[in-house]
Chain A
């Protein structure tokens, strides 16, 4: 519940430049009454700092705060649309103000501390932004009523104007701002009424993103574009091997490069300190321009102590993961008795799948500008998580978080990389060392070689079939290095969060005997989250294996999958002994696992893709379906495999049930993009290590989907779900089904099974 406060003429004004303005803020106190908040505010002056969410200036201009980071998912459009709609504002007169990091002010849902991650912005903000918008409308209506001397019940807001029903008189929003300043917003029974969804004018309708013009004219500003007068630019040479350290270095030649001013060492973390989001350490070249420091870095002579991870070699490490996936060990979900069921089965099949490390490669490599020599410390950066950026920078500088400000720019892609502020810590440390603002620029090589990697994983799957070809037992063991090792380096098993990313919630609800296990693995590199995280490998393994089973049983693969999933309203994991179900951080009562919605998107995409029709030689259609971030997504990939093993993808169909959505154009764009992202995972994604060092370095050896190998006809089918209207995630859930759908399509076309990603040239060697 958000208590809404009218806080006109306070700190928001400096951002709007208006002479008079109505400013509304909300103070989030779960379950509280607004009266309590107001009483507290009166008693303690301004000690209750409300969120600032909307300002209306006397010319009628409306400024809506966006407290989430924009990284291409359209949040600067979608979240403000909600508020503008409920407030009856005219979108053309709305401007967006990007909030800096301050969770005490700018986290209206009170759930995420402004960390834009986990595909959760819409689902956590729909209700609260509606309440805030309704409060804005209420205040304006009250103000107009006061000016006319009529009962507020006779006044209504419509498209940026306030109307008096009886006389037809009207005001522009801006004309009542002077009378709005002291209107109080009631809570409880008198709280402003939300619009009926049938009255929505923006929510649920296509809206172009607010940054389109800037993004098409070079005017969009990212972290790498930030400047502060007097700033220096720095690049850092970091250990090629994770947790390696500088033994010694010689900067003589580097310092001879014109424009290089200083070479300094960023100390490595103590050996026993978890990596978290701290700076990695290394040798920094600081100078006047990017070219100089890049040239200078090339001339550094550094002797490294490679540290404890030199045995991290993909050849042997991958085998260890595979062995761990065979061995299993930690049972995380157990239904029935798989061992007895295997004994009784007519046929038992096994297969092993492997998905390698990936790295994010946002088009904007990490970059952060910090002035650590002022108070508060000033950070300007492209971050998904401004408050964790403040927290870690404060730690790096040995000061309080409240002494650190973080301004959020646009993000040139994020995908999880930019929720980890190690690069801002580097800039802060350097700024303090050199006594000037410093912008640290990561190169592509830095980003690929010193990142936070999507966990490589191995999966052992085993299933029992009865004589009719029905699955009686399903056993899945996954092994991967856990991202929890960032905080607990000795961790060998996964965390509840990772189990919840599509493994413990394996949706094959109709299988009577089901066991899921986690094998052990050492984390020998920084493992971090990546768009859709472990869902990628879990969805890959289970969708591919289900397809293999269908083929073995001589069954139609879609009917087979539908039989595994079923049409139950809810799948209750507690019935299978699961005590800790993360469920994307949300209550399972609100966002349950609903097999029937999964089956529904699968049926939808089968119908839309023309599944079942006879295809020409070399063509194949493959399907996969997965629930993640509470959304239900099914993808059908149509592939044409040529005799030489090359292939093209003429069409992709994806059906998504994301519950209630705000901007359908935004949903389509995310799903189109997810197909491309999934295509990179499927065809190319592979990070390997040799003697502890990442082998790949740039787009020549870590290829990303380009237009010539991209699906260019991705058709998005948004399943209108009028029953389950709670919004679900959209940014990530499109990714997981793509790779298994493509691999299943390749099998349909060629009969060849791909069990190890990426596909690479596996078809060419066939």
Chain B
């Protein structure tokens, strides 16, 4: 049995401990904000926080979360008003929106670790997240705004 807190709620998982956190959260808990994009930690659409660190949940076994706090996009802020989320809307970032949960979770973790990132640090911190619509310019600007306002 694996015990963890997901978005503040205690959860027990009794299935295959190798199941990636993404599928547990999406299929069993019905939290669909975290997305499947590649299954190989290449695109970042599935990014969540485990113990405060951004992880690619598509390759992170549930067992890794044992005894830890997991935060998904749904739990980032109770009203969806985390500084990163506000900056995302202020810059009108999303196009299709599919990758944006992962982008936001990566950005939030980046700013948590490094509240005042340089331009290069923003780029390297966000380079693991693919956006096929090509919203990088606005993501970059939004991360900068969020850093200033946090």
| A218 in contact with B34 given A258-B16, A364-B98, A712-B136 (CB within 8 Å) | yes
- Chain B contacts for A712, CB-based, 8 A: 123, 136-137, 140
| A707 in contact with B140 given A413-B98, A443-B39 (CB within 8 Å) | yes
Out of B27, B37, B39, B104, which one reaches A233, CB within 8 Å? B27
B1-41: CB near A (< 8 Å → 1, else 0) gives 00000000000000110011001101110111111111110
Write the nearest CB–CB distance from A410 to chain B, whole angstroms: 7
Residue among B28, B122, B134 with most chain A CB within 10 A: B134
A657-686: CB near B (< 8 Å → 1, else 0) gives 000000001000100111111010000000
Among A206-214, A499-507, A582-590, which stretch is in contact with chain B?
Answer: A206-214
- Chain A contacts for B96, CB-based, 8 A: 70-72, 362-364, 410-414
Q: Is A218 a contact of B33 with CB atoms below 8 Å?
A: yes
Write the nearest CB–CB distance from A409 to chain B, whole angstroms: 11
B111 within 8 A of A: no
Write the nearest CB–CB distance from A743 to chain B, whole angstroms: 19
Write the nearest CB–CB distance from B26 to chain A, whole angstroms: 7
A614 within 8 A of B: no
A698 to B98, CA, bound (A): 18
A-B contact count (CB 8 A): 190
Q: Is B98 a contact of A216 with CB atoms below 8 Å?
A: no
Q: Is A669 a contact of B95 with CB atoms below 8 Å?
A: yes
| A699 in contact with B40 given A216-B89, A216-B100, A674-B134 (CB within 8 Å) | yes
Q: Is B98 a contact of A212 with CB atoms below 8 Å?
A: no
A357 within 8 A of B: no
A38 within 8 A of B: no
A203-236: CB near B (< 8 Å → 1, else 0) gives 0000011011111111111101101000001000
Write the nearest CB–CB distance from A439 to chain B, whole angstroms: 10
A761 to B104, CA, bound (A): 32
A705 within 8 A of B: yes
Q: Is B130 a contact of A706 with CB atoms below 8 Å?
A: yes
| A215 in contact with B97 given A698-B38, A699-B43, A704-B132 (CB within 8 Å) | yes
| A216 in contact with B88 given A290-B23, A672-B138, A673-B134 (CB within 8 Å) | yes
Q: Is A672 a contact of B89 with CB atoms below 8 Å?
A: no
- Chain A contacts for B124, CB-based, 8 A: 708
A713 within 8 A of B: yes
Q: Is A290 a contact of B27 with CB atoms below 8 Å?
A: yes
Smallest CB gap from B98: residue in A? A412
A212 to B86, CA, bound (A): 10
- Chain A contacts for B101, CB-based, 8 A: 218
| A224 in contact with B36 given A209-B92, A218-B73, A218-B74 (CB within 8 Å) | yes
A535 within 8 A of B: no
A705 to B136, CA, bound (A): 10
| A444 in contact with B127 given A290-B27, A677-B134, A713-B137 (CB within 8 Å) | no
| A212 in contact with B94 given A218-B73, A258-B15, A291-B20 (CB within 8 Å) | yes
A375 within 8 A of B: no
- Chain A contacts for B128, CB-based, 8 A: 706
B147 within 8 A of A: no
Q: Is A363 a contact of B98 with CB atoms below 8 Å?
A: yes
A706 to B92, CA, bound (A): 19
Smallest CB gap from A364: residue in B? B98
- Chain A contacts for B135, CB-based, 8 A: 669, 672-673, 676
A275-313: CB near B (< 8 Å → 1, else 0) gives 000000000000011110010000000000000000000
A225 to B37, CA, bound (A): 13
Write the nearest CB–CB distance from A376 to chain B, whole angstroms: 25
Smallest CB gap from B96: residue in A? A72
Q: Is A291 a contact of B133 with CB atoms below 8 Å?
A: no
Taking CB atoms and an 8 Å cut-off, the chain B residues in 102-150 that contact chain A are 104, 122-124, 126-140
- Chain B contacts for A169, CB-based, 8 A: none
- Chain B contacts for A174, CB-based, 8 A: none
Out of B34, B40, B129, B137, which one reaches A444, CB within 8 Å? B40
Write the nearest CB–CB distance from A44 to chain B, whole angstroms: 42
Write the nearest CB–CB distance from A414 to chain B, whole angstroms: 8
Out of B35, B39, B93, B129, which one reaches A224, CB within 8 Å? B35
- Chain B contacts for A669, CB-based, 8 A: 92, 95, 135, 138
A708 to B119, CA, bound (A): 11
- Chain A contacts for B52, CB-based, 8 A: none
Write the nearest CB–CB distance from A427 to chain B, whole angstroms: 16
| A698 in contact with B40 given A412-B35, A677-B134 (CB within 8 Å) | yes
Out of B97, B136, B138, which one reaches A214, CB within 8 Å? B97
A484 to B113, CA, bound (A): 53
Smallest CB gap from A219: residue in B? B33
A482 within 8 A of B: no
A415 within 8 A of B: yes
Taking CB atoms and an 8 Å cut-off, the chain B residues in 43-65 that contact chain A are 43, 45
Out of A213, A215, A443, A705, which one reaches B134, CB within 8 Å? A705
Q: Is B80 a contact of A665 with CB atoms below 8 Å?
A: no
Smallest CB gap from A713: residue in B? B137
- Chain B contacts for A518, CB-based, 8 A: none
Out of A209, A411, A707, which one reaches B136, CB within 8 Å? A707
A73 within 8 A of B: yes
Residue among B89, B97, B128, B131 with most chain A CB within 10 A: B97
A714 within 8 A of B: yes
Q: Is A415 a contact of B132 with CB atoms below 8 Å?
A: yes
Residue among A259, A675, A707 with most chain B CB within 10 A: A707
Q: Is B95 a contact of A72 with CB atoms below 8 Å?
A: yes
A727 within 8 A of B: no
- Chain B contacts for A675, CB-based, 8 A: 134
A457 within 8 A of B: no
Q: Is B123 a contact of A217 with CB atoms below 8 Å?
A: no
A31-54: CB near B (< 8 Å → 1, else 0) gives 000000000000000000000000
A214 to B72, CA, bound (A): 14
A362 to B74, CA, bound (A): 23
Q: Is B137 a contact of A218 with CB atoms below 8 Å?
A: no
Sort A-B residue pairs by CB-CB distance and give the 8 closest, nearest first: A218-B33, A676-B134, A412-B98, A72-B96, A215-B97, A72-B95, A673-B134, A218-B73
A/B interface sample: 11 pairs, CB < 8 A: A208-B92, A219-B74, A222-B35, A225-B32, A233-B27, A291-B24, A362-B132, A412-B96, A414-B96, A673-B133, A675-B134
Residues of A within 8 A of B (CB): 70-74, 208-209, 211-222, 224-225, 227, 233, 258-259, 288-291, 294, 361-365, 410-415, 441, 443-445, 665, 669, 672-677, 679, 698-700, 704-708, 710-714
Sample of 6 more A-B contacts, CB < 8 Å, known A72-B133, A364-B35, A699-B38: A217-B80, A218-B74, A219-B80, A675-B134, A699-B40, A708-B124
